[in-house]
Amino acid sequence: MTQDRLFPASAMPDQDWWHTLWPDPDRVVTALCIEPGMRVVDLGCGDGYFTAAIARQVGAGHVVGFDIDPLMIEQAQAACKGMSNCSWLLGDAMELSRLLTAPVDYVLIANTFHGVPDKTALAREVAAALKPDGRLAIVNWYPLQREQTTVLGQPRGPKTDMRLSPEQTRTVVEPAGFKLETSVELPPYHYGAIFTRIVDA
C-alpha cells in the first residue's frame, strides 16, 4: 500500500492513550508558533486531533487536513465539524505542492516523519508548497528506548531505531532548503523542530 511505503509504522494510534499523551493539543499548536491568520497544512492529519486545534488557533486563517487514507480524512472531518476554516485533501505527500491551490504559510508534520523513507525528498516537496518565508514544523519522538516511553502503562511510539534526534532531523531537512529556526520541548517524550524556508534555496 502507498501508506506503508510513505509512513511505515505510522498508523493512527488508539485514542485513549493518544489523548492521554496529548491532553492539550491547543497548547502544542501555540508552542509550535502557529499564528492567527495563517494558512496551514496538517500533513498526515490522521483523525484530525491536531487539525481541529490548528483551526481554533488560526481563526480567520485556514487549515488543510491532508492524508493518504480516506478513512482518516472522514474522521478528521468529523473532528472539525462545524468549523468553517478547514478543507481536506486526499493524496500522496510527495505531490503536496501540486495538489494545493496556492502556497501556504506553514506545514506541520506530527508524529509521522520518522516513517518517511526519503526524508529530504519530502522536505523538498514541502518547501515547494510553502511561501518564501514559510515554516515547516516536525514533531518527533525523542530517540529514547521504546520501553522508556510509556503511556497508560504500555510502551508507545515507533520502534527505537526509527526515532530521530533533533540533530538528525536538522541534518535531513536543511539540505531541502530550510534553516532550523528553533526547537521546542513537548513533554513528556517529544520535541518540535521548526524550520524556515530559505528564500534563495
Give 132-155 pLDDT, tens digit per residue.
999 999 999 999 999 999 999 999
pLDDT confidence of residue 53: 98
pLDDT confidence of residue 119: 98
* CA–CA separation, 127 and 196 (whole Å): 9
* CA–CA separation, 88 and 63 (whole Å): 8
Per-residue pLDDT tens digits of the chain, which is 201 residues long:
344 344 444 455 667 899 999 999 999 999 999 999 999 999 999 999 999 999 999 999 999 999 999 999 999 999 999 999 999 999 999 999 999 999 999 999 999 999 999 999 999 999 999 999 999 999 999 999 999 999 999 999 999 999 999 999 999 999 999 999 999 999 999 999 999 999 864
Q: Say whether 119 sits in a helix, a strand or coil.
A: helix
pLDDT confidence of residue 17: 92
CA dihedral 71, 7, 108, 23 (to 10 degrees): 70
Place of cell 511505503: 5
In whole angstroms, how far apart are CA 19 and each of 25, 132, 186?
9, 34, 14
Query: What are the tens digits of pLDDT across the range 163-197?
Result: 999 999 999 999 999 999 999 999 999 999 999 99
Neighbour order of strands in the sheet with 178-186: 86-90, 62-67, 39-43, 104-110, 130-141, 190-197, 178-186
List Cβ neighbours of 164 (8 Å cut-off, separation of 6 or more).
113, 114, 140, 143, 172
Which residues partner with 191 through β-bridges? 140, 185
CA dihedral 113, 15, 155, 160 (to 10 degrees): -10
Q: Say whether 7 sits in a helix, a strand or coil.
A: coil
